[in-house]
Amino acid sequence: MPMIIVKATRGRTLDQKRELVRRITGDVVEVFKVAPELVSIEIVEGEPENWARGGILSVDRATATPTAPDPK
């Protein structure tokens, strides 16, 4: 039984989530050759202050200036 977890920041609409799970389910069914009823998907939403990339929190990304990598 395929189990997929999608992690994303909050803010997607219910229609967007419906479309996402429809597409993911379709692809898993096609590739894994399983019935749609066997595909389980969980959407885990987090707040932007709990996500970071490149050392910058998502809530700070719009105002952050890029930094050069440490030359070690």
pLDDT digits (tens, 9 = 90+) for 20-62: 999 999 999 999 999 999 999 999 999 988 989 999 998 898 7
* Of residues 25, 19, 22, 21, the one with CA closest to residue 2: 25
3-state secondary structure the chain: CCEEEEEEECCCCHHHHHHHHHHHHHHHHHHHCCCHHHCEEEEEEECHHHCEECCEEHHHCCCCCCCCCCCC
Which residue ranges form the domains of the chain, and what is each CATH number? 3-60 (3.30.429.10)
pTM: 0.75
